[in-house]
Every structure is written in structure tokens, then in C-alpha cells.
Amino acid sequence: MKKTSIKEMPFFYDRYIDLVSKDLSVLEALTVSKNSLASIKEKLIKFQDVQYQEGKWTPKDILQHLIDVERIMSYRALALARGEQQELLGFEENKYGKETNAKYRSVEDLLEEFSLVRNSTLAMFKSFSDEMLLKEGLCSGIHVSPLIFGFICVGHIQHHINVLHERYFN
């Protein structure tokens, strides 16, 4: 299913979905964006421990955040595809960020983990029927679907790549 199959752009998440520029299917978008982090590996290594401002994340922290968010969005997609009726909970990204050990990991290790997580996300989305992709539910008061979470996974990465280029790699 394509981005145009999303009935209503969800508040807050639309800023990520809008970054998926082509009208690709969710599987195509997830596949195309799979290597987007690997393509900036050298810059990630060069600036791995840089904070562009006091208290801001380093590129390694951002990589860990991307891994965490992909896992959370995948779980949410799975829950809705399986018919979960309870409202899904949000999470506090900064609290999650404080509880990692990204500073002790290499960029290569983080990229490897991201690749494994993305492969798992792809396998899960391949298993969903169109009907499953369009099942709706609530997450933090916002109407969402598995399809939406798939496109969030793609756009969220692009958002952070843009931040890396604007604030770290210049």
C-alpha cells in the first residue's frame, strides 16, 4: 500500500510522513531507506561524539534513538495489525536516551543493529495484508494504523539525517 492510502494524516506524525517524498509502497519505502544511514557512515564516525550544543545528543545517541523508535513503531504496527483495542502508550524519548550506553558503542555496531531491526521490520510488514495495514487504533490520542507507523519509520530516519547534516556535518 502507498502513502496515498493513508486516509488522514495524523497530527504530530505528519512531519515525518511528509518527508517520504515519493509515492512508494510502504515496503518500497522501508527498503529504499534501509541503507540511508550506512551512506553517511564516514561522517557519523567523524562526528560520533560531537554535541552541537550542550545537552544535545551525539550522532551515536541519535543512532540509538533511531533503533529504539523503529522498535517501538514496529511494535505499535504489530499491535494494531493483530487487532489491539487498547490505546497504545507514548514514550519519552529523552528519558529513553538517558538510559542507553550508545557512548560505549561503535558507529559500526549501531549501524549493524539498525540493519537487523530494519530487516525485522521489513519481514513483519511483508506479512501484513492490506486489511491489516489499515486497521485503526489510538496512540496517545492520535488515530493511527500500521501503514502510518511504517511510513513514520522511514520519515523519522530522514528527519534525523536532515538534522545531522544541518547541525553536525557542516
Please state, as a whole number, how many other Cβ atoms lie within 10 Å of the Cβ of residue 116: 11
Compute the distance between CA of residue 63 and CA of residue 49 in angstroms, rounded to an integer. Answer: 12
Instruction: Assess contact for 3 and 151: CB atoms under 8 A.
Output: yes
The answer to pTM > 0.85 is yes
169 Cβ partners below 8 Å, 6+ apart? 40, 43, 47
Q: Which residues of the chain have pLDDT under 70?
A: none
Compute the distance between CA of residue 149 and CA of residue 11 in angstroms, rounded to an integer. Answer: 13
Helix (H, G, I), strand (E, B) or coil at 114: helix
Helix (H, G, I), strand (E, B) or coil at 50: coil
pLDDT at 170: 82
Compute the distance between CA of residue 60 and CA of residue 95 in angstroms, rounded to an integer. Answer: 16
Q: Which class would CATH give 3-48+55-167?
A: mainly alpha
Ranges of each domain in the chain: 3-48+55-167
pLDDT at 101: 94
pLDDT at 21: 76
Helices H, strands E: what count in the chain?
8, 2
